[in-house]
Amino acid sequence: MVTPVQFTFEETNIDEIATFAGRVAVFVTPEGKLDPAARRVNRLTKGAIARLVEDEPKAGDARVLAYPIGMAAEAVDVLCLERNADVPTVRKAGAELAKKRGNKNLLMCVGNANKAAEMVFGLALRDYSFDVHKTSEVKEDARQVTVMATKPDEVAEAAAPLLAVAEGAFFTRDLVNEPANVLTTTNFAERLVAMQDLGLEVEVLEEDKLAELGMGALLSVGQGSDSPSKVVVMKWMGGEEGSAPLALVGKGVVFDTGGISLKPAAGMEDMTMDMGGAGVVAGTMRALALRKAKANVVGLVGLVENMPSGNATRPGDVVTSMKGDTIEVINTDAEGRLVLCDVMHYAQETFKPSAMIDLATLTGAVIIGLGHENAGVFSNDDTLCNSFLRAASQEGEGAWRLPLGKAYADQLKSRIADVKNVGGRAAGSITAAEFLHRFVQDETPWMHLDIAGVAHVAGGTDFAPKGATGWGVAALNRLVSNRFEVTDGK
């Protein structure tokens, strides 16, 4: 879809700095220390870098030397980084370079392999654009970044798993950015089936099978649309044979009109992102496959379109979930939970997972509560939840836990069925989580991530341009490597 940036890793050749005809990036410290490449540029430009650092740059500052004399480069980016800068700061410096370079080739001269790899990761993440529908855009293949290091193989090796995560996040972003007339349920499923080439096992359950399984809740959401509802199961069994997998479950509403409880027109176009949970599940599975993770992980997504029509579910209808619980549909716009409850039940019945995490752009209320900085986190298991919160903070992805509780669950009592699908205005994100909680089997450690605020950010973030962010791929990948991966004694 996108042409991700291409990295080449080369042994340091100080002479190339003078002749490189793109942008050159070098690093200085807040104390004014220049690394060898910066010293080289300084000499070539007759002291331009030394003059730049005279006014004491602060860590994180990025300066530009435009058309430096004595060099073929168009510009030199001078980044100020502390020697012991932490991972998020180093990634941000990389992202800064991505923003600055536009479509120019870049030569970056780096030191320490791990730090260099993190910088490469930050650069890669920010160097994304979704321009497949812009006919005027020149599709250049000149998106080359040359990473120069004394031990280029070490940098390449350290960067490889991170670039797998970036590619997973791009896959998520492409899915989330794609409009709903292109990304139909069928098209979505096809893109997932194509991941078989990476060694994933992918199975598509069609409507007749879903009906046979009794997924009346999920099917009630999609029945107003001409696009068929589907559940796609992706398996990555890189861990110990026979050990229970981690299950990731995603809401994949390819477009959410609200159904008969129709949404207002203003802003409805954003509901192309209502498959964000499924997008993160797919991107994470891709990253795990690309880096050949030593873990058993199954990803399940419920793909439906929520449309009003003569055949659509009405407010007041009662539907029966696969679990057997009857659900009174008060509002057809609270559809995500109806999709998830059946896929979650199926995931537990089929895989007996060691833990289950669901992701969904579930409620507008979570945006009111947490904005675009943090996803809402809900869990019945402190260990799982704390591991995730740690992984998310290591990756710089915002996540904040909110409570569950019987009083919230009681808001979902229905007069005529076992449960209703909305619990009123108060604590909308929590009652949505409590609805899902009902479908979690007692022994399953479970976590629900409400990503409505973080999956798509109109103004962009440090690591993503306007639109889809890919939030969660890095954190889930990290959770897998921290907690679910076989360590083989390392």
Nearest residue to 449 (alpha-carbon basis) of 398, 393, 375, 389: 375
- Choose, from 115, 323, 337, 420, the residue flagged as catalytic: 337
Angle made by CA atoms 172, 178, 179, in degrees to the nearest 5: 145
Q: Indicate whether 333 belongs to the interface with Mn ion (CB under 5 A).
A: yes
Binding residues among 251-290 for Zn ion as defined by CB under 5 A: 253, 256, 274
- Interface with ligand BES (CB under 6 A), residue from 114, 129, 331, 354: 331
β-pairing, 230-237 vs 246-256, is unpaired
- Choose, from 63, 263, 438, 466, the residue flagged as catalytic: 263
263 flagged as catalytic: yes
Q: Indicate whether 334 belongs to the interface with ligand BES (CB under 6 A).
A: yes
Lay out the site mask for ligand BES across 412-431 (x = CB under 6 A, - = otherwise): ----------x-----x---
Strand order in the sheet with 144-149: 6-11, 144-149, 106-109, 23-28, 75-80, 62-66
Residue nearer to ligand BES on the CB measure, 165 or 457: 457
Q: Which stretch binds ligand BES (CB under 6 A): 11-19, 88-96, 329-337, 437-445?
A: 329-337
CB of 464 to ligand BES, least distance (A): 16
How far CA 466 is from CA of 10, 100, 459, in Å, comes to 32, 16, 5
CB of 177 to ligand BES, least distance (A): 14
Residue nearer to ligand BES on the CB measure, 49 or 329: 329
- Interface with Mn ion (CB under 5 A), residue from 61, 167, 256, 397: 256
Residue nearer to Mn ion on the CB measure, 178 or 256: 256
The residues, any chain, with a CB within 8 Å of residue 276's CB and separated by 6 or more, are: 172, 176, 251, 359, 360, 361, 451, 452, 455, 456, 468
Lay out the site mask for Mn ion across 335-354 (x = CB under 5 A, - = otherwise): x-------------------
Q: Indicate whether 364 belongs to the interface with ligand BES (CB under 6 A).
A: yes
The residues, any chain, with a CB within 8 Å of residue 195's CB and separated by 6 or more, are: 202, 234, 282, 285, 286, 289
Binding residues among 255-294 for ligand BES as defined by CB under 6 A: 256, 274
Q: Indicate whether 365 belongs to the interface with ligand BES (CB under 6 A).
A: yes
CA 375 to chain centre: 12
How far CA 325 is from CA of 215, 291, 348, 422, in Å, comes to 11, 40, 16, 15
- Interface with ligand BES (CB under 6 A), residue from 168, 245, 336, 465: 336
364 binds, among ligand BES, Zn ion, Mn ion, none (CB under 5 to 8 A by kind): ligand BES
Residue nearer to ligand BES on the CB measure, 321 or 363: 363
- Measured from each CB, the residue nearest to Zn ion is 256
- Binding residues for Mn ion (CB under 5 A): 256, 333, 335
- Binding residues for ligand BES (CB under 6 A): 256, 274, 331, 333-336, 361, 363-365, 422, 428, 452
- Binding residues for Zn ion (CB under 5 A): 253, 256, 274, 336
Residues designated as active site: 263, 337
